[in-house]
Every structure is written in C-alpha cells, then in structure tokens.
A = this chain, B = another copy of it.
C-alpha cells in the first residue's frame, strides 16, 4: 500500500502510540529489528491486527526478519505528524491547565505548548512558561500561526473560549471540558472526557459486585 494519507481507522490510530512507546523502549535496549509477533505478544493483541495497523503507516517489512526498528518508529511518527513539532496554545490555567503546562512528556508526542492564557491576569508564569491575559490570545495565536488549541477552562467559559480559538484560525481543539462544542465542521475536535472512562470502569465494578 503506497498511500493511505486520509481516513485511517480510528482504533488503529489510537493503538499506534502504544507501538511507538514500546519501540522507543526497545531502541534504548539496543534492539534493531522487531516483528509484529513480538509487539503483539507484549501488548496482548492479535499479530494480524498489529500488522494491519503498521501497514497504514506505509512501512514495509522483510519476511522472516520483521521491521527495522528505527525505520518503523519514524514511519509511525511521520504518519501521526509527530516528526515535526505541533505548537499549541493552552487556554485555561487552573489546576488542570497548570498540570498540562508542567507536563514534560508532550514533546514525545510532537506537541509543544508555546503559551498559556487565562482570564485571571494575576497568573503570569508556570514551569517556565508564560501565562498571558486571554485578551492577548488572538494576536499571539495569529502571529505564531498556531493551529492547535488546548481547552482547559471551567465549564461556563468553554463555549466562548472555543469560539475565540476558532476566530484565531485554530484548526484543531483538544477539549478537556465536558461541554459539547458546536464549531465549524472543518475544525477538528478531540474530546478528553473522563466521565466516559469512569462509566466503563464503574459499570464493570458494579457488575462485579453482584457476582
């Protein structure tokens, strides 16, 4: 398969970071090749599924040998757009916002928070990153040509902040609020909704109780 640039299955996309993490660990241990079998075994998944997932990145392996580890890791990174850094703005510097701002792991996922914004002008810095008044967002986002926005404001400020982001030319929003946003359809929105995870977990837990 030469080109699979758009509409990859979402489940596959969600699994790719898992493979990548494992590859990075193995790279540090000096491994140079990997097989779908070994990845599948370590992650408790089906080898064929792993093979299909990797195939969408365009990687080509060698029968009997597997894939070149570095080549595979780079193929995944390229496919996810993690080879070049995505610069993002963070809107909302409350507890969650600060946690995100202080998180150093984003660079491994091709993400860099270049600035944070909050309606409270008292907040000016955290973890070496500047926090600006929300009113500065439009000018800065446009000047820096930011395409990604992280929304971590209180519920009641969500709609307004999201619209502001869109007006700034932001094309993708990582939405940490539980407010359903009605944005123009060309804007990509990814929801981070803990309630969904809790629903799965607590239903299973409640079911177990009855057994």
Q: Which of A's residues lie within 8 Å of B, judged by CB?
A: 5-6, 8, 10, 13-18, 21, 42-43, 79-82, 86, 95-96, 98-99, 102-103, 105, 109-111, 147-148, 171-172, 174, 178, 180, 188, 190-210
Q: Give the docked Cα–Cα distance between A13 and B200 (Å).
A: 6
Say yes or no: A197 contacts B210, CB within 8 Å. Answer: no
The listed residue (B96, B148, B200, B207) touching A103 by CB distance below 8 A is B96
What is the CB-to-nearest-CB distance from A183 to chain B, in angstroms, rounded to a whole number? 12
What is the CB-to-nearest-CB distance from A203 to chain B, in angstroms, rounded to a whole number? 5
Copies of this subunit: 2
What is the CB-to-nearest-CB distance from A166 to chain B, in angstroms, rounded to a whole number? 14
Say yes or no: A174 contacts B188, CB within 8 Å. Answer: no
In the bound complex, residues from chain B placing their C-beta under 8 Å from that of A102 are 95
